[in-house]
Amino acid sequence: MKKTSINEVVVYCESCKKFTRQIVDKVNHFLHLILTMITFGIWSFIWIYIAIWTFRYSECLKCGIRAKYISVK
Ligand SMILES: [Zn+2]
């Protein structure tokens, strides 16, 4: 069964010295939306923090090193 909680991207790995497939942690926005409603908006600060943090790092599938993820938008 394929995991839907992870995002796969192809980015340059400093350790492998080439472009590799890497996993970027995906934020469960639906869960955070519920938590934001429960906490009357307080959770949105944590939500933003998590969203920024998780999309800054990716894990290389070849060497397993967790490195900075440079997003190509
Ligand atoms: Zn690597």
CA of 27 to the centre of ligand 1 (A): 23
* pTM metric for this prediction: 0.53
Residues in the chain: 73
CA of 15 to the centre of ligand 1 (A): 5
Q: So what's the pLDDT on residue 5?
A: 52
Q: Please tell me the distance from the alpha carbon of residue 62 to that of residue 47, in angstroms, as a whole number.
A: 30
CA of 65 to the centre of ligand 1 (A): 6
Q: So what's the pLDDT on residue 73?
A: 46
Per-residue pLDDT tens, the chain, 73 aa: give them: 454 556 788 888 888 999 999 888 777 788 999 999 999 999 999 888 877 776 667 889 999 988 776 655 4
